[in-house]
């Protein structure tokens, strides 16, 4: 239940706090905007993105909230604001970052 839309909602949780049923297919993405390697987990049946993992957030998972459409919380931060189209309004009351974290050394 996610798409290639203008934005996506994600939540960052500890790997031990997430429980995934079944065995996702994993793609090791080394060609990212930030230069950070991202391990991307997908549903093996429908191809929906489930999570991402990066060395910059060791021990954490970035869960795609599109999987939980009825339970979306208010966002806490907004990334890549530098590239927000002029017509897209900012989300009131949250911290904005122009881009994502730089590549770790």
pLDDT tens digits, residue range 39-95? 999 999 988 889 999 988 899 999 988 777 666 667 778 877 888 888 888 888 888
| Pair 63, 83 in one domain | no
Q: Which residue has the higher pLDDT, 66 or 101?
A: 66
> 40 CB contacts (<8 Å, ≥6 apart)?
26, 27, 28, 29, 49, 51, 52
Q: Does 29 reside within a domain?
A: yes
Domain of 22, in residue numbers: 10-71
Domains of the chain: total? 2
The two most distant CA atoms of the chain are separated, in Å, by: 41
pLDDT of residue 20 exceeding 60? yes
């Amino acid at each position: 239940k996610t798409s290639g839309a203008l934005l996506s909602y994600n939540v960052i949780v500890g790997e031990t706090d997430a429980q995934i049923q079944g065995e996702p297919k994993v793609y090791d993405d080394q060609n990212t905007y930030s230069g950070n390697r991202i391990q991307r987990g997908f549903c093996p049946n429908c191809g929906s993105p489930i999570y991402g993992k990066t060395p910059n957030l060791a021990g954490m998972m970035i869960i795609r909230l599109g999987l939980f459409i009825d339970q979306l919380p208010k966002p806490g931060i907004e990334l890549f604001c530098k590239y927000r189209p002029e017509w897209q309004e900012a989300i009131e009351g949250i911290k904005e970052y122009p881009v994502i974290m730089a590549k770790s050394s």
